[in-house]
């Protein structure tokens, strides 16, 4: 859960997960829907699927007990080199190195590694350096403490920007600190900007009847959203909708290496029939109030939240005023200057007529005064 996710975010998920799956056996036999629902909100759902596959492997091959060696842990689905090293060193005291993002940053700066830390050669050099540190560890020192210390150092003092080198215990041994190269290291290939990522366009159907919504489940082998429930896609179910009808909802989402752009139409469906497309393996009418209990794809979850905030009927009725409103405001703004201009003209005409009327009267008074004199 902590991979690419903050600790504060993970804690409530962890607590709910452990309450639902307190043992490896409980996770191994749980329905996939329950596993994905418990994971919903953390993203990267392949981690949840691999957790269950790993639990099933441990039950079948290790009688429900985790192996204690990093090499054996690597054979479990979902456990890679970093996780195997973490479990073996911290839980079982094996002298096994590990490299995660924080450790990679520390090692790249301390040893002045000039390779891209995500490249093949960069990873090889990082693991070699981590192994050398573990081999140099005194016999009476705990391997887990070394690994946790490196991870904590990278998470606190050796930050990506603004590292606190003055308080770092490795500053006197650090190449980057000695040469002033903290901003250059670690070397990481430039990521594409969001607007440079390829776009996946999807058109989904909102099929609601009696407070229930039609959802389909992706097959477990269907890739990115495998095992997740979502709104059916146009062309995958025999639904009826007006092609010219306006879209009632939109959703944009940035994935790891792609962008997702979703549009939603309202449709009707007479009979629930499992799509012949192997992408899906189930179709159900689900009460809107119960949809959150399923493992739902993030895009569909976002659309459901939009509907709860403003049901489509409300959105449709308010659409026209939203379009006309700028013109109404422009008329209001243009009317005010005209009224102001008319008022100024009226005052000017009154002032002019008054001045014109005063002129003869004043001239007459002056002539009468001259005659009296």
258-290 pLDDT per residue, tens: 999 999 999 998 888 887 788 899 999 999 999
Higher pLDDT, 257 or 373: 257
How much of the chain exceeds pLDDT 70, in percent?
83
Tokens of residue 202, six digits: 């999807």
SS3 string of 277-345?
A: CCCEEEEEEEEHHHHHHCCECHHHHHHHHHHHHCCHHHHHHHHHHHHHHHHHHHHHHHHHHHHHHHHHH
> How would residue 313 be classed by pLDDT, with cut points 50, 70 and 90?
low
Contact between residue 117 and residue 99 where contact means Cβ atoms under 8 Å apart: no
Paired sense of beta strands 280-287 and 212-218, if any: antiparallel
Q: What is the CATH superfamily name and number for domain 194-309?
A: Nucleoside Triphosphate Pyrophosphohydrolase (3.90.79.10)
334: confidence class by pLDDT, cuts 50, 70, 90: very low
pLDDT at residue 355 is higher than 60: no
The CATH code belonging to domain 7-179 is: 1.10.340.30
Q: Is the pTM of this model over 0.75?
A: no
Helix 7-20 and helix 32-39, axial crossing angle in degrees, nearest 10: 150
| Chain mean pLDDT for the chain | 86
Long-range contact set of residues 47-52: C-beta below 8 Å, sequence gap at least 24: 47/1, 47/3, 47/78, 48/295, 49/220, 49/226, 49/227, 50/77, 50/78, 51/27, 51/78, 52/27, 52/28
Domain-by-domain residue ranges, the chain? 7-179, 194-309
CB 283 within 8 A of CB 238: no
CB atoms inside a 10 Å sphere around CB 30: 15
Q: Place 224 in a pLDDT band, splitting at 50, 70 and 90.
A: confident
Task: Report the range of poorest mean pLDDT among 110-114, 134-138, 364-368.
Answer: 364-368
């Amino acid at each position: 859960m902590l991979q690419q996710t903050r600790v504060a975010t993970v804690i409530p998920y962890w607590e709910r997960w452990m309450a639902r799956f307190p043992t490896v056996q409980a996770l191994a036999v749980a329905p996939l829907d329950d596993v994905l629902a418990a994971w919903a909100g953390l993203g990267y759902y392949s981690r949840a699927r691999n957790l269950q596959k790993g639990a099933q492997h441990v039950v079948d091959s290790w009688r429900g007990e985790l192996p204690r060696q990093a090499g054996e842990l690597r054979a479990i689905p979902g456990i890679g080199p970093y996780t195997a090293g973490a479990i073996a060193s911290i839980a079982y005291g094996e002298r096994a190195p590990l490299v995660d993002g924080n450790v990679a940053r520390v090692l790249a700066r301390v040893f002045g590694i000039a390779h891209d830390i995500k490249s093949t050669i960069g990873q090889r050099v990082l693991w070699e350096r981590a192994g050398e540190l573990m081999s140099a560890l005194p016999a009476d020192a705990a391997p887990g403490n070394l690994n946790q210390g490196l991870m904590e150092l990278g998470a606190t003092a050796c930050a990506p920007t603004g590292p606190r080198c003055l308080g770092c215990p490795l500053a006197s041994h650090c190449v980057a600190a000695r040469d002033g190269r903290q901003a250059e290291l670690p070397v990481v290939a430039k990521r594409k900007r969001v607007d440079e990522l390829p776009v996946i366009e999807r058109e989904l159907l909102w099929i609601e009847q009696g407070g229930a919504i039609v959802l389909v489940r992706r097959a477990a082998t269907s890739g990115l959203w495998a095992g997740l429930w979502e709104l059916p896609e146009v062309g995958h179910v025999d639904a009826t909708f007006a092609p010219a009808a306006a879209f009632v909802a939109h959703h944009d989402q940035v994935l790891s290496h792609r962008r997702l752009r979703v549009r939603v139409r309202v449709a009707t469906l007479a009979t629930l029939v499992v799509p012949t497309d192997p992408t899906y393996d189930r179709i159900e009418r689900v009460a809107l109030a119960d949809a959150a209990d399923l493992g739902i794809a993030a895009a569909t979850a976002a659309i459901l939240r939009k509907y709860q905030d403003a049901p489509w009927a409300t959105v449709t009725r308010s659409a026209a005023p939203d379009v006309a409103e700028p013109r109404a405001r422009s008329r209001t703004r243009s009317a005010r200057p005209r009224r102001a201009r008319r008022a100024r003209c009226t005052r000017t005409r009154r002032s002019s007529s008054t001045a014109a009327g005063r002129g003869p009267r004043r001239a007459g008074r002056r002539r009468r005064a001259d005659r009296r004199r």
